[in-house]
Each structure stands twice: as C-alpha cells, then as structure tokens.
Amino acid sequence: MKFTEANILPAGLERSLRFYVTNPSPCPYLPGKRERKAFTNLAVGDADAIHNSLSQAGFRRSQTIAYRPACPRCNACRSVRVPTREFVQSRNDRRTIARNATLIRTPVQAVATREQFRLLRDYVKTRHDKGGMSDMTYRDYVTMVGGSPVQSLIFEYRDSDADDAPLVAVSITDVLRDGFSMVYTFFDPEQDRRGLGHYMILDHIRHAQDLGLPHVYLGYWVKGSPKMDYKRRYKPLEVLDGDDWRTLRDDE
C-alpha cells in the first residue's frame, strides 16, 4: 500500500522517495494493540545522506529498509537518542563500566562471521527463544549484516586482544553524520551479570564523545512496555516529539 502521510517525513524526501505502509499486525510491545509501519528502500543513490535525514526523523534501519511506526491511533513508540555532550554517568553506570574494564572494543567491517553467529544464536535462544529471530540461519545472518547500503560497522568486544580471545559481545552499528545508531546488540548470555547490553550503550556514548559526535540513537522507547523501559536510564534522553527533539521528562 502506498504511504501518503507526508507529515511524518522529512521535508523534500516525500517527493524523492517512495514510502509504503504495512498491513496491521500484532504489536510486539503492547498486548491487544495492532501496529503498522511506514517504510522505504535505502538501496538507492545517496543512501547515506537519506539515511541521516530519516534517522533524524525517527526512522530505523533493517537491512536495506528504513522504517518508522505509522499507527493511526497510537503514538506509544517514540524515537529516542542520548545527547552525548550532556550525558552524565550514574553510580550504576560507573559500576557497569568497572565490571567490564577488561573489555576491548574492536571495530570490524560489517561482514558476518561464524563466531558472531554462534554468539547470536546462544543469545537469542536464551533471551528471545520465541522471537522472530529464533529460527535465523547463518545465511540469514549474512544477509542481515552484509546487506546494509549505508555506512555500518560491527563493534566486537573481547576481554583480551589475543588472537584466541573469545567473543563476548557484538554491536551492529550505523555511523551517521551526527552520531551512532545502534541497530542490534547481542552478548554471551552466560555473562549476564556483567550488564553487557548496558555496557555497550555506555561505551558507544563514550566513543561518540571521543569522536565529537553529539548523539547515540537507541531506537524506540515504548511507554508501558517493560522490555523497553531500560532506555529511560540514560539521562538526559531526547525524544522525538512531532518534528522536534526534546528532553524526555521524568513524569512521562
């Protein structure tokens, strides 16, 4: 179905790209709700510039597709990002960083490896066994990682720089003009007490600060969804409100 609600699109892009909307399907975050998504194909000329504009307008990337919620009577899914210059570590943040002080981050080309896939398979089996990725094959993972038409990296985390050091955590990350967009993260489920998911977000914030990048995009925060509530811990947190980004209030 062609999507014509240009009010949610960046100025000008509604004329240069074709947007569509999905049919209604069960919402994965709010029981009893139905969701629809607006989407467009990023495998076009000047994909990086388009991706940057769409990210600032609340879109996310999945392989070659940029998408955004387009539910007619619900606005619960809100795009959020961390303003890195204003971010202040909490006591819990500092403890998480200390617990993972041995981790070494290595940026690698966005090319799938068997080692990454084994870690992803263990993570999904433990944390999301009934989710949409539970039956992912290695070929699916290759497509997921290697199909990006925009600037993307994989950050690998290990406890040592030795050649045989096991892979502990992974972040598939898009590089934007104004920061990082964390597409998907996964980690060793047997090391859950280290807070590796939390650590990778903190590490992206620190890395963005070092590079002078002002934002780390965290995708969607969904009010009323326990599995998305963790994003509120990063303060200040900016939320997309209409066409403008503003600080999320504590009472929201």
How high is the pLDDT of residue 12? 56
> What stretch of H or E contains 68?
strand 65-69
Residues 173, 183: contact at Cβ < 8 Å? yes
How high is the pLDDT of residue 2? 38
* Whole-number Å distance between alpha carbons of 88 and 83: 10
Q: What are phi and psi of 60, to 5 degrees?
A: -120, 160
Q: Would you mind telling me the total number of residues written for the chain in this entry?
A: 252
- State CA 162 to chain mean position distance: 29
How high is the pLDDT of residue 172? 97
pTM of the entire structure? 0.91
Q: Where are the domains of the chain?
A: 83-215
How high is the pLDDT of residue 5? 42
How high is the pLDDT of residue 128? 65
Q: What are phi and psi of 56, to 5 degrees?
A: -70, -20
CATH topology of domain 83-215: Aminopeptidase (3.40.630)
- Residues of the chain under the 70 pLDDT cut: 1-16, 128-132
